[in-house]
Amino acid sequence: MPRRRSDAEVVLDSSDASLLDIVDNVLNKGVVLSGDLTIALAQVDLIYARLSLLLCAADRVLPNEDPDLMERHHARRRRRVRLRQSGRVATRPQAALSGRSADAGRPGGHAAGRPGRR
Amino acid sequence: MTVFAIVASRGAPPSFRSRHGGRLRVVREHALAAVVNDRAGVSSPTTATLRRYDRLMHELAERFPAILPVRFGTQMAEDELRSILSSRRTSLGGALAHVRKRAQMTVRVVRRNADGEREGPVPPASRLPPEGGSDRRLTGRDYLRSRARAAAARRAVQGFEPVRRAVARWVRDERVEHRAGVSSVYHLIPRSSADAYRYAAQTSAASSGVTAIVSGPWPPYAFAAFE
């Protein structure tokens, strides 16, 4: 008894096969160009980020229940400075030598942690 | 404007007319260039427009030693295009070098199970169970092994090995997709080897009893997509 032909075989054997290829190639393949950022090292793409820029006033996008965000940020900063001055937290070069903080010694790193993490 | 393809800027003319009379312009940015036209508005994806787009890609592939076809319907401003070409010049340049003087051949294989019935879709690789049971805590080595197994599973096409061996001498790169009972194998081969590839693939498929439909040469559509 002859085997029943599948839908895929019927399409692939017909004259529509070339159209199937064209649809697959033209609509499903090819470079997608958009506002992307690719960070590469030694010609290997490591980080890919789609860029979507939102330009508006900060108070329009920050949560309503957090009106004193900047005030709390400044308070944390003052506290870090006080701790550093009192000697309870190592300065950046010391921490880098002793390996106390993963951020220490890195450009822009903070020996006492980043704002908002404490 | 509509963007059709990425090419190397070296040797590309500032503008030219396609065989069907359309005026095309070349936007250069460093070593890369884009073939565009200045017509506004996206064409609907009808049979006629898709065939016309594919004919243009074939024409561009004949004109330039290396092209990366751009997805149908891509429209953007020239500034944005220049910014993209500039920011992605490393990966686009690498892809362009990879497809230089090469073409895509497509082999579609109908998958069957042991009873000769059509198989369902292949489960996504991410759902493959880890080796040694699913309740064990995964280590980094387990993760890398599972990725390797998943990659091998994606590449596996039932009954295709004889065909793969027969055409291996021409294949420079391969992509495999499984969808709705059909596995599609895309091979990147030297442009001059298309006839030999087709003959070898068809002969080996027929002799090994595989239902395989070979088409091409195509512009390297499948090797222009980045995942």
ipTM, 2 decimals? 0.78
Low-confidence ranges of chain B (pLDDT < 70): 112-136, 225-227
Q: Which residues are registered as beta bridge partners of B110? A: B182
- The mean pLDDT value for A43-48 works out to 58
Has residue A106 got a pLDDT over 60?
A: no
Q: Give me the count of residues in chain A.
A: 118
Has residue A55 got a pLDDT over 70?
A: no
* Residue A3 to residue B169: CA distance in whole angstroms: 34
Q: What does the pLDDT read at residue B186?
A: 95
pLDDT in tens, B168-223: 999 999 999 888 788 999 999 999 999 999 999 999 999 988 888 899 899 999 99
Q: Please list every residue in chain B whose beta carbon sits closer than 8 Å to the beta carbon of residue A23.
A: 50
Q: What does the pLDDT read at residue B218?
A: 94
Q: How confident is the model at residue A69 (pLDDT cuts 50, 70, 90)?
A: low
- The mean pLDDT value for A28-47 works out to 64
A9–chain B Cβ distance below 8 A for any pair:
yes
Q: What does the pLDDT read at residue A13?
A: 60
Q: Which residues are registered as beta bridge partners of B186? A: B106, B175
Closest-CA residue to B221 (of A25, A20, A35, A67): A25
* Residue B182 to residue A41: CA distance in whole angstroms: 37
Q: How confident is the model at residue A41 (pLDDT cuts 50, 70, 90)?
A: low
Q: Where are the domains of chain B?
A: 2-99, 102-223
Alpha carbon of B165: minimum distance to chain A alpha carbons (Å): 23
* Residue B27 to residue B43: CA distance in whole angstroms: 21
Contacts of B24 by beta carbon, 8 Å cutoff, 6+ apart = B4, B15, B16, B17, B18, B35, B36, B37
Contact of B38 with B25, CB cutoff 8 Å: yes
Q: What does the pLDDT read at residue B105?
A: 96
Q: Please list every residue in chain B whose beta carbon sits closer than 8 Å to the beta carbon of residue A26.
A: 45, 50, 53-54, 57, 69, 71-72, 221
Peptide bond into B217 cis (omega under 30): yes
What's the 3-state SS for B14-65?
A: CEEECCCCCEEEEEEECCEEEEEECCCCCCCCCHHHHHHHHHHHHHHHHHCC
Q: What angle do CA B75, B81, B84 make, to 5 degrees?
A: 125
Does the beta-carbon distance from A43 to B94 stay under 8 Å? Answer: yes
Has residue A117 got a pLDDT over 50?
A: no
Q: Identify the residue with better confidence: A32 or B206.
A: B206
Q: What superfamily does domain B102-223 belong to in CATH?
A: ACT domain (3.30.70.260)
The pTM (predicted TM-score) of the whole model is: 0.67
Q: What does the pLDDT read at residue B194?
A: 94
> End-to-end distance of chain A based on CA atoms, in angstroms?
75
* Residue B100 to residue B65: CA distance in whole angstroms: 6
* Residue B45 to residue B72: CA distance in whole angstroms: 8
Has residue A95 got a pLDDT over 80?
A: no
Strands (E), B140-205: 173-179, 182-190
A45–chain B Cβ distance below 8 A for any pair:
yes
Does the beta-carbon distance from A30 to B69 stay under 8 Å? Answer: yes
- Please give the DSSP secondary-structure letter assigned to residue B191: G
Contact of A26 with B46, CB cutoff 8 Å: no
